[in-house]
Amino acid sequence: MTGLINTLKRKTSLRQEMKNASNADVERMIKNLNDLLIEREEAEARKKADLAEKLEAIKKIQSAMADAGIEIGDLQNLEMPSVKAKTKAAAKYAINVDGKRYEWTGRGRTPTVFADYMKAHSLSKKDLPAA
């Protein structure tokens, strides 16, 4: 792409490239370049308008803050409400196997220790000892 731009910037290079092009082709290229220029200018004008709108909104906010006696530092020192930490679910079932205590909340997949215990003692989940 850099080669094309360099060619378009230099009259001599452009003349060499356009040697075999018809006048209609040259006019079409000029029209396309003008259209691109117009699009860029419109986009730049939209950006400037958006920026002016944003600046106006900022001035209104600053004015409202001044009327209320609020400074920027006041906004930065606000305490955010604490987020409640997730608590671990309490164990609902507990068993002792080989002198070791195992607990299970009763949620999710049944741990292997509990599945083996229930199978060995012919118990169902509701028959397990409470924690």
29 and 69 in a single domain? The answer is yes
In a domain, 4, yes or no: no
Q: What is the pLDDT of residue 60?
A: 95
In a domain, 28, yes or no: yes
Q: Tell me, rounded to whole angstroms, the distance of Cα 106 from its chain centroid.
A: 36
Counting the structural domains of the chain, the total is 2
Question: How far is Cα 110 from Cα 104, in angstroms, rounded to an integer?
Answer: 8
Range of the domain at 40: 22-74
Question: How far is Cα 117 from Cα 102, in angstroms, rounded to an integer?
Answer: 11
Q: What is the pLDDT of residue 88?
A: 85
In a domain, 61, yes or no: yes
27 and 69 in a single domain? The answer is yes
29 and 70 in a single domain? The answer is yes
Summary mean pLDDT of the chain: 88
pLDDT digits (tens, 9 = 90+) for 19-50: 889 999 999 999 999 999 999 999 999 999 99
Spatial neighbors of 109 by CB under 8 A, at least 6 apart, are none
Q: What is the DSSP string of 39-98?
A: HHHHHHHHHHHHHHHHHHHHHHHHHHHHHHT--HHHHHTPPPPPPPPPPPPPP-EEEEET
In a domain, 112, yes or no: yes
101 and 63 in a single domain? The answer is no
Q: What is the pLDDT of residue 110?
A: 92
CA atoms within 13 A on the CB side of 79: 3
In a domain, 3, yes or no: no
Instruction: Please choose, from the candidates 67, 69, 117, the residue with its C-alpha nearest in 3D space to the C-alpha of residue 96.
Output: 117
100 and 68 in a single domain? The answer is no
In this predicted structure, the answer to whether residue 91 has a pLDDT above a threshold of 80 is yes
Q: What is the pLDDT of residue 36?
A: 94
Q: Tell me, rounded to whole angstroms, the distance of Cα 102 from its chain centroid.
A: 42
Instruction: Please choose, from the candidates 89, 90, 98, 102, the residue with its C-alpha nearest in 3D space to the C-alpha of residue 128.
Output: 102
The maximal CA–CA distance of the chain, rounded, in angstroms, is 97
